[in-house]
Amino acid sequence: MTDARAAPLNILHVMRAPVGGLFRHVTDLARGQVARGHRVGLIADSSTGGAQAESTLAALAGELALGVTRVPMSRHIGVGDILAVRHVSQRAKAAAADVIHGHGAKGGAYARLAQPGRAVRVYTPHGGSLHYHWSSPTGFFYLKAERALTGRTDLFLFESAYGRDAYKAKIGQPQGLVRVVHNGVSDDEFQPVVQNPGATDLLFIGELRALKGVDVLIAAIRQIAQDGRNVSVTIVGDGPDRAQFEREVGRQGLGEQVHFVGAKPARAAFALGRLMVVPSRAESLPYVVLEAAAAGLPVIASNVGGIPEIFGPDAGALVAPGDPAALARAISQAMQDRGARHSATLRLKARVRASFSADAMTDAVLAAYREALARRVG
């Protein structure tokens, strides 16, 4: 499929860690842009992602005319950032990039600090720095950096209205072009998932860190047990706080109910539980909710970030973040009233099919690139 509206673009995507929803977004977008006749390249950190990322990037490299390169990119500010910015600048120059699209706080910083020649600089936060607050020293530093970089941004692409509004509230009015383009899923993801015979009652999928609310889920399971009902859960993922969560499960005597199985692809993980729980303290527009909804898996989620935009009219059923008691009640109600749960699942699946398409996402992003390029020429 070729974008008939204009000549093909040279597009360079920059991100740090090739994991999670951000990685899914970039790979989907890159493939969609290639399918429309554009020349695409990718830059990512060389020290994160593990074997799964290595395999995905190796397969992607064969599809991208501008190739895939990996260089060290630390989570925090360091001397290595200078080398990473230099690498991005060199890649942009060699590719004669029309667009350099930075994803996440670090990828966005590299894309905007680089010297990309004629390329427009595009930034998608994916939450990133916007999860911080000015009141903390770390938050002050990151938000100050965001404010300093806003003038070097030609196009802001937010994956949710929440992300756009959070940016305006914390950083200020963006100086460049602003567009909201929701994440999307593909048609083949609407195939139902067959549950494993030993599937647990609940399922969590995500990075194992405090932001994702795994501790809140553990506390809710403990409360349900105290009320006289044992609930089993499979926790899929890895991350910096995994050992801490495993210790907490042991302290609470929940070792027979809570199972940590490491990272797995979402579709494979969906077969491991009958009801997915997303207890996050903060989110942008999480792919895992879109993917689960498309697969027909019931979802209980926190009322944070762009999640209400996914649920639409059913957003009132979302759970307050950081509240184990509220989460325990929502889980118990969903397990008891299976008819209501089934109806809500069908409504969410239909909404995602109608409003969160990967093709629509790709087309809207390309249209925004064109608009930003036209503004620069003008």
Reported as a single tens digit per residue, the pLDDT across 165-196 is 999 999 999 988 999 999 999 999 999 999 99
Between 274 and 1, where is the model more confident?
274
Q: Residue 71 belongs to what H/E stretch? A: strand 68-71
Contact 259, 236 (CB under 8 A): no
Helix (H, G, I), strand (E, B) or coil at 56: helix
Whole-angstrom Cα distance, residue 309 to residue 179? 16
Give 321's strand partners.
none
Condensed to tens digits (0 to 9), the pLDDT of residues 208-221 reads 999 999 999 999 99
Give 299's strand partners.
276
Could you give the percent of the chain with pLDDT greater than 70? 98
Contact 290, 356 (CB under 8 A): yes
- pLDDT value of position 2: 45
- pLDDT value of position 133: 87
Q: What is the residue-averaged pLDDT of the chain?
A: 94
Q: Which residues contact 362 (CB under 8 A, 6 or more apart)?
A: 28, 29, 32, 33, 35, 36, 184
∠ Cα 38 44 50 (to 5°):
120
Residue 378 reports pLDDT greater than 80: no
- Please report the domains of the chain, with CATH numbers, ordered by start residue: 10-184+357-377 (3.40.50.2000), 188-355 (3.40.50.2000)
Condensed to tens digits (0 to 9), the pLDDT of residues 96-108 reads 999 999 999 999 9
- For CA atoms 51, 103, 10, 6, the dihedral sign is positive
Whole-angstrom Cα distance, residue 74 to residue 105? 12
Residue 4 pLDDT level (bands cut at 50, 70, 90): very low
- pLDDT value of position 6: 73
Q: Residue 175 belongs to what H/E stretch? A: none
Condensed to tens digits (0 to 9), the pLDDT of residues 42-79 reads 999 998 888 888 999 999 999 999 999 999 998 888 88
Helices (H) and strands (E) in the chain, counts: 14, 12
Q: Residue 40 belongs to what H/E stretch? A: strand 39-45
Residue 141 pLDDT level (bands cut at 50, 70, 90): confident
Q: What is the DSSP letter of 211?
A: G
Whole-angstrom Cα distance, residue 180 to residue 273? 33
Strand arrangement of the beta sheet that strand 177-180 belongs to: 68-71, 39-45, 10-14, 99-103, 120-124, 155-158, 177-180
